[in-house]
Structure 1
Amino acid sequence: MANPSKITEGGVVYSLGHFDGKQVRYDFSKVLTYLDAKGKLLFGRKFQIHPEDREVLLKLCNYMVRDHASCRKQGIDPNKGILLSGPVGCGKTSLMKLIRFITPHYRPYEIIPARNVVFGYNHIGHRIIEDYGNGHFYCFDDIGVEPMGRHFGKDCNVMGEILLSRYELFLESGLRTHGTTNLNAQELEERYGKRVRSRMRELFNLIAFDQSARDKRGHPPKGEGPVKEKQRKR
């Protein structure tokens, strides 16, 4: 890519910052403008970036653009994956679908609903665990609320097994895995056990919405608009 700081969508060129020929100095306000436009293309004209999501978005952006200095300040390890947590409907899945578009020059991850993984196991058995324990980039959506797998009368905690496989891949090759979840740490441990929960701590950076974050799938509060952010260079 000639200039990774510029992205064209619908015939419009969006600048995300300044490219000096070696690296991009991202401008968060410009990134937000692009994400708002891209979100409307992906999810419809009612999509908007909410002011209360700014802190979560800033962390996700710093992670995605590999801003190591900002990641250190925010306690994020850029070599690990992201586990985005928060209440139902707060926008986790939409943000994980959206945020990958700001770095088209990096290898993208595929978003897979955890329940679909289990349905696959129910159909073809253990091979599904092998299939997702490969070298591809994945973001597993809604981790922890998927049903228990069952194939030929045998129960299996499918996502727990896959997370263990992805952890081994992470140790061997540094391959990152992402996910979203509605559950807190205690609930995840109850769902998967202490061993998997321990591996998840090493596999993921936890980025969390406030537990009071509202369900954005309803109507937005009257008068609310997109985030307006002063320009700042990163």
Structure 2
Amino acid sequence: MNEAYNYSEVIIWLENKGKNRYGNHFKILDTDYPIIFKLIAYFLKDEQMCLQYGINLDRGILLSGPVGCGKTSLMNLMKDLTPTAHKFLIKPSRDISFEFIKDGYEIIHKYSKSAPKTICFDDLGTENNLKYFGNECNVMAEILLSRYDLFITKKIMTHITTNLSASEIEAIYGNRVRSRLRSTLNLIAFDKDAKDKR
């Protein structure tokens, strides 16, 4: 462990935050510690531990795992842990698709070109391809491609939670998106048999 941070104490702090937010039943399981330690290291910008875990602090996070394993809850807690300069917005992918139905292509602009901050797109893969005035659009694919350009030009990061595998991401969003995600995100993955905590 790093001398600068006591990770066991951080876990206790996160669990208390979780109980306040989600109720007394909230618990961080020992089996999830390897995942959570990586997230703590990343969001506290603990360079020594990130080096040990093979995590690149200049990239975002792709947190993947089965339905109900706690990805969204964890990212909400990490928001509390993150220093102010690195705070991020969490936006459900489904909500973006509903906004697209209502407001059209300006929504792609809203979450890419005109969004000068880090965003976590939650539950990537739960939205559908949508039609706006008869034109079908893979909204999240377009946003992710634009966010890649933001990353390259301005170093603005993106985080994602998903229960999709890499091959499912490619099938839904295309190999360009998969390739760009691979070059801009650190993959942190729950075991496919991770317990459903709901």
Same fold (TM over 0.5): yes
Q: Give, in whole Å, the separation in 1 of the partners of 2:128 and 2:84.
A: 36
Alignment deviations for residues 138-179 of structure 1 (CA, whole Å, 9 cap, x no partner): 100111221112101110000000000110000011111101
> Tell me, what secondary structure is at the counterpart of 2:84?
coil
The aligned residue for residue 225 of structure 1 is: none
Distance in 2 between residues matched to 1:158 and 1:139, nearest whole Å:
15
Aligned-pair distance for 1:104? 4.0
2:72 to 83, 93, 103: 93
What is the count of residue pairs matched by the alignment? 195
Give distance in 2, aligned partners of 1:69 and 1:104. Answer: 17
2:94 & 2:129 partners in 1: Cα distance?
9
What is the aligned counterpart of 2:118 among 132, 137, 154?
A: 137
* Residue 10 (structure 1) aligns with: none
Structure with bigger helix share is 2
Residue 200 of structure 1 is matched in structure 2 by 181
Calculate the aligned-residue CA RMSD, in Å. Answer: 1.3
Q: Aligned to 2:138, which of 116, 132, 157?
A: 157
Q: Cα deviation per residue 1:114-155 (whole Å; 9 max; x = unaligned)?
A: 011011111111100000012122100111221112101110
CA distance in structure 1 between the aligned counterparts of 2:158 and 2:165, rounded to whole angstroms:
18
Q: Supply the distance in 2 between the matched residues of 1:61 and 1:80 (Cα, whole angstroms).
A: 15
1:186 aligned partner, one-letter code: S
Unaligned 5+ segments in structure 1 are 1-16, 19-24, 218-234
Which residue in 2 is equivalent to 1:112?
91
Give the AA of the match of 1:27.
N
Q: Residue type matched to 1:159 in 2? A: M
Counterpart CA distance in 2 for 1:29 and 1:138 is 28
Contact 2:66 2:163 in 1 (8 A): yes
TM-score of the superposed pair, with normalisation by structure 2 = 0.95
**TM-score, length basis structure 1:** 0.81
Residue 124 (str. 1) matches residue 107 (str. 2)? no
- Residue matched to 1:8: none
CA distance in structure 2 between the aligned counterparts of 1:91 and 1:34, rounded to whole angstroms: 17
Whole-Å separation in 2 of the counterparts to 1:69 and 1:31: 17
Equivalent residue number for residue 230 of structure 1: none
SS at match of 1:207: strand
**Equivalent AA in structure 1 for residue 92 of structure 2:** P
- Please give the residue correspondences for 1:1-234 in structure 2 after superposition, counting only pairs within 5 Å: 25-133=4-112, 134-217=115-198
TM-aligned CA deviation for residue 33 of structure 1: 1.0
Larger radius of gyration: 1
